[in-house]
Amino acid sequence: MTSFDTLTAAQIAAGVADGTFSATEVARAALDAIQARESSVQAFLQVTPELALEHARKVDAARAAGEKLGCLAGVPVAVKDNMNLAGTRTTCASLMLENYESPYTATCVQRLVDAGAVPVGKTNMDEFAFGSSTESSAFHRTNNPWDTERVPGGSSGGSAAAVAAGEVPITLGSDTGGSIRQPASLCGVVGLKPTYGAVSRYGVVAFGSSLDQVGPFARTVEDAALAMNALVAGGRDPLDSTSQDCPVDFVEHLNDPVEGMRVGYIPGLMEAEGLTPEVREAMARAKAAFEAQGAELVEIELPHMDAAIAAYYVIGPAEAFSNLARFDGVRYGYQEKDCSTLAEQSALSRAHGFGSEAKRRQMLGAYLLSSGVYDQYYFAAQQVRTLITRDYTRAFERCDVILMPASPRTAFRFGEISDPTQMYLSDVFTVSLNIVGNGGVSVPLGLGSESGLPVSAQLVGPAFSDRRLLTFARALEREAGTVNVVAPDFAGKGGELA
Amino acid sequence: MALSADDVRGIADYARIALSPEELEAMTAYLNDTIAILDPILQYDLEGVEPTYHPIGDLANVMRDDAEAPGLAIDAALGNAGSTRGRSFRVPSILGDGGAA
């Protein structure tokens, strides 16, 4: 007997292709693992056994018919609950969309399915992706598999926790200001935010349209690369005007050497407020790992980084306010009954449908876009965006990849950061990348020496160099030995494969 | 200058979010705290700096051929609405005094 969670997605796809096990057997093992672990993790908002078995049977039938199987054949996957999947609800973890039935399937989800992946459910998140701890979900909290009294990070906390707990090998998240990289860091898994435009957002509920990007979580860099191959297959999505062609094989050059490559780092960043000693140690280990493999360390500067948080908390809420105006209780979403005017129905539907953080972000956005304030903040934020973009362009003239933390600290306790503005400041290492659009990946580096909680490094690449970014991530993973690690309290619990 | 509760009531009206008196007080404090962390963008000399509205600078309008393609069926489009009539979404009066939906 093999425990399902010891297998990577690559191993599952290979095993299904060569007949070692069927997709249906794998799906049943994944559903068993979820059943055994979910009461402790609470990563899911919906588990979809019937849908999973239906898709698994299709993969098995395709194999029996001698058809060529996709790169994720029989691999159980789960997606963040802001992604439409026909046959499921898409709630965005909000009372506003508690009963919203997906009318169609998002392109990113469809592409996983087209590659043979088996969808087993929808994962928890901060409401409408507003948050860094998944505590703002309207339905329940998600526990960090490394310490269930701590948050998994956010906003894609359910997707990160499901992978860390060994419930599925691959999940999808969305990243508007760090919502893939930060929970990946706190849960000790790989989390990739691809370059803006690399993955279609059609069918993903919008937060900040100039910032949002979809990407994978996995327990190995290779599995993240496999997921990327599925996500970019088929090229540009005509249904998303920002979608770009990415005709590359993310797996092909994964194990290329990084010898002679230049890894940039920012010495001053180590003095950032709130950066814990364990995260500093992790950065030192990452530097040593690259040096051991013959890479050259280069000091660089990003002089306008200190304005990134401010620019982000102008652009993000402004775009969110604009995007969430569609939730007026008319076409979908919570509707207040017995109102005498449309304006009253909108104001009360939004008051009762949205939670506190969703209201706060929209109120901030409404203020920032109001007459007189717009020029002072919104226009200036877009000018600062130019300065930060230039900073990165200059930095990449001197290096091939930039090393920095993904999160200033390891996973924190529930309720530990209750002041919203303090929570915002913890996004300091992730938001600048959404502002410029480049790709970034969080790579696990083992456990902190004091806390025993996962620590990580974030790697940042030039735009549309995500394949090479994963080569650097693989080099780090190889040196750190963090391949396919499941949180110890969950490893092997349920989900046996014959 | 700090925002007053009256200012915040006006923003809530614009944002179509009804706030209780307790929420209004908390929201006023929140907005003032958060606006304070936006200060760094006001500290730079931005004279002559072009704004960047989008990460993909040379993004052009994407047009498709003017050909018939399948869209969302009416049942699916109306399926998530709180109130419908026939092939339409049903709403209360948009000008007031029109009765409940």
Fold of A2-262+461-497: Amidase signature (AS) enzymes (3.90.1300)
Residue B69 has pLDDT above 90, yes or no: no
Determine the Cα–Cα distance for residues A326 and A429; give it in Å rounded to an integer.
31
Q: Which of A:323-352 have CB within 8 Å of B?
A: 325, 328-335, 337-348, 350-351
Q: Do A313 and B96 touch (CB under 8 A)?
A: no
Query: 10 Å Cβ neighbour count for A492?
Result: 16
Quick one: A241 exposed, middle or buried, by C-beta within 10 A (0-12, 13-18, 19+)?
Answer: middle
Residue B98 has pLDDT above 60, yes or no: no
User: Would residue B15 count as lying in a domain?
Assistant: yes
Residue B101: predicted pLDDT: 45
User: Would residue B34 count as lying in a domain?
Assistant: yes
Beta bridge partners of A403: A265, A459
Chain B partners within 8 Å of A419 (Cβ): 33
CATH number at residue B16: 1.10.20
Residue A421: predicted pLDDT: 87
Range of the structural domain that residue B35 is part of: 5-42
Q: Do B34 and A241 touch (CB under 8 A)?
A: no
For the record, the structure tokens of B8 come out as 């915040």
Residue B40: predicted pLDDT: 86
For the record, the structure tokens of A218 come out as 């996995």
Active-site residue A80, yes or no?
yes
Active-site residue A179, yes or no?
yes
Count of the separate structural domains present in chain B: 1
Residue B58: predicted pLDDT: 67
Q: Residue ranges of the domains in chain A?
A: 2-262+461-497
User: Would residue B85 count as lying in a domain?
Assistant: no
Residue B99 has pLDDT above 60, yes or no: no
Q: Do B41 and A104 touch (CB under 8 A)?
A: no
The alpha carbon dihedral of A228, A229, A231, A234 has a sign of positive
Q: Which of B31, B53, B55 sits opposite A196 (nearest CB)?
A: B55
pLDDT by residue, tens only, chain A of 498 residues: 889 999 999 999 999 999 999 999 999 999 999 999 999 999 999 999 999 999 999 999 999 999 999 999 999 999 999 999 999 999 999 999 999 999 999 999 999 999 999 999 999 999 999 999 999 999 999 999 999 999 999 999 999 999 999 999 999 999 999 999 999 999 999 999 999 999 999 999 999 999 999 999 999 999 999 999 999 999 999 999 899 999 899 999 999 999 999 999 999 887 777 789 999 999 999 999 999 999 999 999 999 998 999 999 999 999 999 999 999 999 999 999 999 999 999 999 999 999 999 999 999 999 999 998 998 999 999 999 999 999 999 999 999 999 999 999 999 999 999 999 888 888 889 999 999 999 999 999 999 999 999 999 999 999 999 999 999 999 999 999 999 999 999 999 999 997
Q: Do B37 and A313 touch (CB under 8 A)?
A: yes
User: Would residue B13 count as lying in a domain?
Assistant: yes
User: Would residue B37 count as lying in a domain?
Assistant: yes
Task: Give me the catalytic one of A179, A200, A346, A426.
Answer: A179
Residue B54: predicted pLDDT: 85
Regarding an ipTM greater than 0.90, the answer is: yes
